[in-house]
A and B are shown apart, each in its own frame.
Chain A
Amino acid sequence: MTNTMPKIVRKTSPYLRRPNANATRMMRDVTIALLPVSIFAIYSFGLSALWILLVSIGSMLLTEYVFYQIQDKLQGESFKFKNKNFTLYNFSAFTSGLIYGLTLPDQTPLWIVALSGVLGILLAKLIFGGMGQNIFNPAAVARVLVVVNFATLATYQTNIDGVAGATALSFTNQNLFSIEVLQHYTLTNLFTGIGIPGSLGETSALLLLLGGLYLALRTSFEVRIPLMYIGTVFVLAFAVAIQQGLGIWYPLYHIFSGGLMFGAIYMATDPVTSPITKPARVYYGFALGFITFIIRLFGALPEGVIFSILIMNMFVTSFDYHKVTHSQFSTKRNLIFASVVVLAIVVTLVGASYVG
């Protein structure tokens, strides 16, 4: 035997870890998936888009950094540029900032972007204890704060819709079941995003899907959530289309507009704020789709997607409640779920006939 005798340490099994297991990689993938969308946003909206993105990302990163610096200080750590709780490397704040920025319309004033960004990450994430502890999606919270801030703080008289309503969907609000909406934008326009006003990242369904495909291939998100989400909106809209005698353009129009693609692929899939089991994620996606469609039908709010995500975020703990959670599908629960789906369609149709 060689003379060098290594030290024998004791641990508990398992002693191996999956190579490439990496939380940072997952967050970073979302950023990569959003690159084409961001570039397209800057291309179509110009410099103002770039500024919004820089400010939204910057505000979130800076807030998180300063927050942990202060926390370390309070715990008696001496100042280091890269402090003990340094978290920016994990791309979590960066991703939130980017997503947040992409949900904003291009004429949002920068100071509102910054203020809402700071408050958003602080209230939604940091005070809950940072990454993995938050209940609400920070980007969605920040996005809602923009509306609130704009309403309460903006000194000049602009309609709130001036910020929030400039999406293609706002035309449906005027004339709910009329094909006239498509006189403004064709489906192809909506799909490719060319010539569509709206939030920075919500315009090109094509690029959003491309990013989604990338995430699916890298298994960096749960593909069931967006599939169920978009699928549900499609099915509900399709049912309404049949009832009202509308064409296939109606459901297509619903899934291509109003940030549905964006929200479904990039916001609803945030693992921290979605349920933990496979079945619950399916139900979650369905519930999101249902709420979104109902909001669109009755509330005429362009932020239907954001609100449904925040509403459903609240219910994640109920999905995961230890007495109801199941990691497997079962025939009985599938049947219950199927009945809920049928019920949802009926409710939607009844609702639509009143609105129509």
Chain B
Amino acid sequence: MIKKSRQVRDYKELTRALPTQTYLDPEKVFIHLQNGRCKTYDLYVEEGDHVYFGEVIGVRHGGFFEQPIHATISGTVGKIGKKLHRTGRKVKCVEIVNDYKDTYHPTITDRPDHVIDALTQDEMVEILKQNALVGLGGSGFPSYIKLATKETINHVVVNAVECEPYLSSDYRLILDRPEEVIMGLKYVMQALECNHGIIAIKSEKNPLYEVLTQVIERRYSHLNIEVIKLGNYYPQGWEIEVFKSALDIDIPYGELPMKYGVLGFNVSTTAGIYNAIKHNLPVVERYFTLTGDAINYPQNYRVRVGTSVQDLIRQSDGYKKEMNEVLVVMGGPMMGVSTVSDDVIVSKTTTSVIVLENIGYKEEPCVRCGSCVYSCPAHLEPVQIMTAVKRNDKDQMKSLHADRCIECGLCAYVCTSKIHVTDYVRKAKKLIR
């Protein structure tokens, strides 16, 4: 087939309509001490110490920021071990054994509304910093740095497009707790003195549209918040595409959206901002999709940060019997990371784990059909980059702008010959970095 194709089968029907399963009482949790952005850390507690729910137990050091580490249950500190992280490396984790009491740390107190109304941008940024709020959609970029921008922001966009196939945790979050998302957006707008908020959803997700507009009309009609339906294609959820479709603002390659007066937040992040500001609550739990064709009961979970994925797989009645080889993917099936083991944990930024049957796709020679070129959202020519990689011609990779690839995976998805084009482009990116 020779055509621009951004339709990706979405498989969301596996989980979307099912109620969210609450799994908030794990026997223990494992808290990452390191992550993709933070290599070093200090731990304030020792094995055997008692910690409260929401207590600061340490700090992670990133390149240009520090991040407090919070306990997500109350209980006893256990051993420090190593667990596989999304980045593919093993990172240190501290174990906390649940005492099932959920005794709150005294810092966790509600802020009355009149106090919140008086908060300034700097104060809000400080609150988010204390609560270690980062991009919960997977980026892990500190939200307080984003919120601290000094640029004039005209539009704040909550990105609820969730264009990756299979994932529906954002969808469930909005359905279950629309107010948290809307309030979070309200706070951000307040901090940035911006009076236009947008919640961007996919066009086919009509239930969300109804839920959101209903809540907004009933209770927040004084706020200028719009719910906008965007296209039903991949990767509509890429921030650049969202701004383009929702606001018709083109952000050139390499520039920050803030410069153009827009700022985007993920749905979970927005809800996290609400909890941080309203309840002074760090990110202790999250919505999490466990799905895939190789698992018995795919569904969405509300879990503590630090829950073991193995526990959840057990909750979902395990792998299907007939499966011989599976892929365990953290994140979506287009951009997620495949791990070598299911011994991973739900971190703040883990949106999902997808268990797929391993299918060996048979690659045919490239027929130069051009579908990958037509489809690439970054307007690259993946097939030509592939040829350049095969020839090891770095100049060519550079002038074909391989570095602009967002690794959305579409080129391999659409490839007529089922070639893993994305891998070649990825290689080119590495070679010319």
| Residues of A near any B CB (own CB < 8 A) | 1-2, 4-27, 90, 130-133, 218-222, 271-272, 274, 276-278, 281, 320, 322-323, 325, 327-328
Contacts and interface: CB of A to CB of B under 8 A. Distances in A.
Contacts of A22: 416, 418
Contacts of A323: 399
A1 B426 CA distance: 37
Interface of B: 1-3, 5, 8-9, 165, 294, 313-314, 317-319, 321, 323-329, 333-342, 354, 356, 358-359, 361, 364-370, 373-374, 376, 379-381, 383-384, 388, 395-396, 399-400, 407, 409-410, 412-418, 420, 422-423, 426
B30 to A, nearest CB: 19
Contact of B339 (A10, A21, A131, A281): A10
A12 B423 contact: yes
28 contacts: A1-B313, A1-B318, A1-B319, A7-B324, A9-B326, A12-B423, A12-B426, A13-B335, A13-B409, A14-B410, A15-B338, A16-B8, A17-B413, A17-B415, A18-B414, A21-B1, A21-B415, A22-B416, A26-B1, A26-B369, A220-B2, A221-B2, A222-B2, A271-B2, A271-B370, A278-B374, A325-B384, A327-B379
Contacts of B374: 278, 327
B356 A6 contact: no
Contacts of B338: 9-13, 15
A328 B204 CA distance: 28
A77 to B, nearest CB: 19
A218 B369 CA distance: 13
Contact of A13 (B2, B8, B337, B379): B337
B373 A276 contact: yes
Contacts of B328: 8
A183 B380 CA distance: 53
Contacts of A132: 365-368
A84 B394 CA distance: 33
Report the 6 A-B pairs with minimum CB-CB distance, sorted nearest first. Answer: A14-B409, A1-B318, A132-B365, A6-B323, A14-B334, A23-B364
Contacts of B324: 6-7
Contacts of B399: 322-323
Main secondary structure of the interface of B (DSSP, over half): loop
B263 to A, nearest CB: 27
Given A13-B333, A16-B9, A26-B1, A327 B376 contact: yes
Residue with the highest number of chain A CB atoms closer than 10 Å, among B338, B369, B396: B369
B297 to A, nearest CB: 12
Contacts of B373: 276-278, 327
Interface centre among A24, A271, A281, A322 (most CB of B within 10 A): A322
A20 B3 CA distance: 13
Contacts of B329: 13, 15
A90 B417 CA distance: 11
B412 A2 contact: no
Given A322-B388, A327-B379, A18 B413 contact: yes
